[in-house]
A and B are shown apart, each in its own frame.
Chain A
Amino acid sequence: MTQHDLVVIGAGPGGYVAAIRAAQLGLNVACVDDNEMLGGTCLRVGCIPSKAMLESSELFYESSRSFADHGIGLQGVTLDLDKMHQRKNQVVKALTSGIGSLFKKNKITRYKGLGRIEGPGRVAVRGDDGTVELTAKHILIATGSVAASLPGIEIDGDRVGTSTDALAYKEVPKHLVVIGAGYIGMELGSVWLRLGAKVTVLEYLDRILPGMDRETADEALKLFRKQGFEIHLGARVTSAKAHGDQCVVERDGGDSITCDRVLVSVGRRPATSDLGLETVGVATDKRGFIQVDGRFATSAAGVYAIGDVIGGMMLAHKAQEEGTACVEGIVTGHGHVNYDAIPGVVYTSPEIATVGKSEEALKEAGVEYRKGVFPFRGNGRARALGQVEGKVKVLADAKTDRVLGVHILGPRAGDLIAEAAVAMDYGASSEDIARACHAHPTLAEALKEAALAVDGRAIHI
């Protein structure tokens, strides 16, 4: 039996960051994960491989479109999908093995196998070579989430599959039906649309990207339709089944759709099965999320949980912040996550990025706000890039001028949002952003202009 100060169950972005931070703080740390590759959903079958495929597919797509506008003529552009997957796999491999090195450097003991809590301070790891028993002063559950489904949908892991399957299609679908217009559906839909598939998106709500700022999402919807997405809103899917090489998707009040691939992206649910939560009495809520207090402590003494498994925004960087705050709390007594300044990014083209409150949320809360908008068509760098679609929107408190939300639809929005998140973490007013010097010509100037526009004094519009 091996004794550790901290045993982290799950080596995803939340778990591995927590493990490293705890080791930095002097704890004897072990990390348990069943997968050969470290990094969890994010690195293996999520954020990273999807971004690799998005980049590759965008280059392919643009080569036969905007390249000509640049005066670059190409003939006979071909797609080698196997090669594209290989490249994606190399990116994943480099990053996941990088975590292995970080574990070695920080003297974190890695256990390969399924971790299960056996009682207070006890974790069993069931691996290929039998079971190892660990004891720990603290246990951190960072098991993340798995793709959810809907009644009537029969996921077979091939024709009707989840995001994991959609990252690895061996050939470009002729017709891909995406169920759920959240960020996963729109990103992976984009990949196959660009590579030549017909893509139909079915969304139950009357909008895409639920939770995002409505105006921004509606503008994105128009752009997606222009790109060739067929998007049906208010569509309730009642069944999706594979029949040989074909699938049939049934919906309320509409014709059934026959296609060759179905991507089910209707959300994710916490991964808590066979974790042994009952052995120590870890409480979960109705939807299965583990309940924690402000310091990420569960109802069981010495057991903590962070990341997707506790709910909230299911984002890698949110899990990382929580993992860091949790172990800092265990060691130093204090650790903090500012949930008001956690950015979210959709890596479509153009990208969509958001931090803070949406306009609807402000209206609902009865907060008086002022709004500054700046379109990328007024930005020199965007013009030079040839990507002038979209805009930056800054929402600030009408009385105090404090920035309450920033929403960006446009080129590199995911990178631009970082500035807004830092500003909000510092309690900035829109005038603070407006007063800071921004390099010219950069896309970031659009944020400065939108901040100026809050006070009605944008320069380039």
Chain B
Amino acid sequence: MAIELRIPSVGESVTEAFIGRWLKKPGDQVRKDEPVAELETDKANFELLAPAAGTLTRLLKKEGESAAIGEVVAYVEEGEGAAVSSPAPSPAEPAPAAVPRPPSVPDPPVVTPPPVSTTTPSPPPTYDVNPVHVAPLPVSEPSAPPGGVDLKPRVMPAARRVLEEYGLSAGEVRATGPGGRLLKEDVLRHIEQSRARAQGTGAAAAAVSGQGDGDDVEVVRMTPMRRTIARRLVEAQQTAAILTTFNEVDMHAVYDLRARYRDAFEKKHGVRLGFMSFFVKAAVDALKQFPSVNAEIRGDDIVYHKRYHVGVAVSTDRGLVVPVVRDADRLSFADLEKTIAELAKRARDKKLGLDDLLGGTFTVTNGGLFGSLMSTPILNPPQTGVLGMHGVQDRPVVRDGQIVIRPMMYIALSYDHRLIDGREAVTFLRRVKEAVEDPTRLLIDV
């Protein structure tokens, strides 16, 4: 009998997933828990596993199409081998007709070539084919906006049909109808504009840059994940009143400490003593003094977080991801280093789960990895603060009337000015500076 493959729930704020790639095609044998598809969300990628052993019979979604959480995207005919000899499921059997599908979309082919080859308006390529550039800026990938405010437009019936047909989500299209309704014409306009951008716009871009079209440019469609990231970043810029304050840190004390205890630390804990743990510790210490930096705006309310879940930006070949170190205030230096190293490894191996990415209350990002001396990080909504670390340089500074050479780092705090006053932000950053310059202060809490 046919078993439905549904998009699993992966977290409260995630309502849809994109089919990144089908790993199996109709007719393929699958084992129980074997990955059938790669799914993408704006948060992370995960795999859709076969619920039982059998034969994959039907795929209901094309690559690049979106599916709601809980939506059926494929069917598996149970029983090994049995289905191999009967490639097409008997018409009486195939999954109870409970699959919601717009009437004008033709039935997906049953056990025919994988849907990649079927005509779709403009299938977004998966990012395996088109790796996105790693942004050298310490831009953190924003998480979903806080729950509570429903910004989704009311979708008119015909608009819903066109959205489904083109694998779009309502949020991607600007609604112009009365009362914010999303009209069919809005979706058609959106599709037309995307098409114009994808094809001709060689022409537009070239006209602007004064170059000929064709070979001078390469037009690559954004992956759903990149599109979501792009939208969220702009949303963050438009929603919050982002301001950045700078300071500099003398890393002399940290260097000393590391020089003295590096080997002992590594021997005992099996992990390198890095800078990161100092900054996370110092940040948590400052957050305790300035609760508004560990807070968020939710409607007309300010929500102060009493736990300290610090997101740490990690760059991967697909872009920046921000896994979260939970309860960072309760972890020792060694635990922090271990946790961060572990999260970074899983991020690079694409093994992060949604749980690893949700719930951060503050973010630390290190642009110094790429050599940046100064930058203005973007907030990771709904958070109100993000601490930017940068590269360390030996610079002449004045100590006790003498010019001396010290390892110096600029640090930045971007903050939401709606909630945090300049005085708080500046003092917060000074507290971070003081704690890193003299880590004993963290120990005796002064």
Binding site for B on A (CB under 8 A): 397, 399-402, 425-429, 431-432, 434-436
Among candidates B161, B179, B181, B188, residue contacting A400 with C-beta atoms closer than 8 Å: B188
Nearest chain B CB to A429's CB is how many angstroms away?
A: 4
* Residues of B close to A428: CB separation below 8 A: 156, 158, 183
Is B106 in contact with chain A by the CB < 8 A criterion? no
Binding site for A on B (CB under 8 A): 156-159, 161, 176-179, 181, 183-185, 188-189
* Residues of A close to B184: CB separation below 8 A: 400-402, 429, 431-432
* Residues of A close to B157: CB separation below 8 A: 431-432, 435-436
Closest to B184 in A: A429
Nearest chain A CB to B287's CB is how many angstroms away?
A: 44
- B158 near A429: Cβ-Cβ < 8 Å: yes
- A427 near B183: Cβ-Cβ < 8 Å: yes
- B185 near A435: Cβ-Cβ < 8 Å: no
Among candidates B161, B181, B188, B189, residue contacting A427 with C-beta atoms closer than 8 Å: B181
- B178 near A401: Cβ-Cβ < 8 Å: no
Bound form: Cα–Cα A256–B158 in Å: 57
5 contacts between A and B (CB under 8 A): A400-B183, A401-B185, A402-B183, A425-B178, A426-B156
* Residues of B close to A399: CB separation below 8 A: 185, 188
Nearest chain A CB to B100's CB is how many angstroms away?
A: 14
Bound form: Cα–Cα A402–B187 in Å: 12
* Residues of B close to A401: CB separation below 8 A: 158, 184-185, 188
User: For B156, B161, B188, which residue has the most chain A Cβ atoms within 10 angstroms?
Assistant: B156
User: For B179, B181, B185, B189, which residue has the most chain A Cβ atoms within 10 angstroms?
Assistant: B185
- A426 near B181: Cβ-Cβ < 8 Å: yes
Nearest chain A CB to B268's CB is how many angstroms away?
A: 68
Nearest chain B CB to A441's CB is how many angstroms away?
A: 22
* Residues of A close to B159: CB separation below 8 A: 429, 432
Closest to A457 in B: B104
Nearest chain B CB to A370's CB is how many angstroms away?
A: 13
A-B contact count (CB 8 A): 50
User: For B158, B159, B185, which residue has the most chain A Cβ atoms within 10 angstroms?
Assistant: B158
User: For A399, A427, A428, A431, which residue has the most chain B Cβ atoms within 10 angstroms?
Assistant: A427
What would 4 more interface pairs be, CB under 8 Å, given A426-B178, A429-B158? A400-B189, A428-B156, A429-B185, A432-B184
Among candidates A397, A425, A432, residue contacting B158 with C-beta atoms closer than 8 Å: A432
Bound form: Cα–Cα A399–B177 in Å: 16
Among candidates A397, A425, A431, residue contacting B161 with C-beta atoms closer than 8 Å: A431
Bound form: Cα–Cα A399–B189 in Å: 10
Nearest chain A CB to B159's CB is how many angstroms away?
A: 8
Nearest chain A CB to B189's CB is how many angstroms away?
A: 8
Nearest chain B CB to A411's CB is how many angstroms away?
A: 27
* Residues of B close to A429: CB separation below 8 A: 156, 158-159, 183-185
Q: Which 4 A-B pairs have the closest CB atoms?
A: A400-B185, A431-B158, A427-B177, A429-B184
Bound form: Cα–Cα A426–B183 in Å: 9
Bound form: Cα–Cα A132–B185 in Å: 57
Bound form: Cα–Cα A435–B160 in Å: 11
- A427 near B156: Cβ-Cβ < 8 Å: yes
Nearest chain B CB to A365's CB is how many angstroms away?
A: 17
- A426 near B158: Cβ-Cβ < 8 Å: no
Bound form: Cα–Cα A436–B161 in Å: 12
Bound form: Cα–Cα A428–B185 in Å: 9
Bound form: Cα–Cα A400–B187 in Å: 9
* Residues of B close to A425: CB separation below 8 A: 178
* Residues of B close to A431: CB separation below 8 A: 157-158, 161, 184
* Residues of A close to B158: CB separation below 8 A: 401, 428-429, 431-432, 434-435
Bound form: Cα–Cα A425–B156 in Å: 12
- Knowing A401-B158, A431-B157, A432-B156, say if A426 contacts B177 (CB, 8 Å): yes
Nearest chain B CB to A47's CB is how many angstroms away?
A: 28
* Residues of B close to A435: CB separation below 8 A: 157-158, 161
* Residues of A close to B178: CB separation below 8 A: 425-427
Nearest chain A CB to B391's CB is how many angstroms away?
A: 53
Bound form: Cα–Cα A434–B102 in Å: 13
* Residues of B close to A400: CB separation below 8 A: 183-185, 188-189
Bound form: Cα–Cα A431–B161 in Å: 10
Nearest chain A CB to B184's CB is how many angstroms away?
A: 4
- B185 near A402: Cβ-Cβ < 8 Å: yes
Nearest chain B CB to A364's CB is how many angstroms away?
A: 22
Bound form: Cα–Cα A179–B189 in Å: 49
Closest to B158 in A: A431
Nearest chain A CB to B190's CB is how many angstroms away?
A: 12
Closest to A402 in B: B185
* Residues of A close to B176: CB separation below 8 A: 427
Bound form: Cα–Cα A431–B188 in Å: 13
Closest to B156 in A: A432
* Residues of B close to A397: CB separation below 8 A: 185
Bound form: Cα–Cα A429–B183 in Å: 8
Bound form: Cα–Cα A435–B189 in Å: 20
* Residues of A close to B177: CB separation below 8 A: 426-427
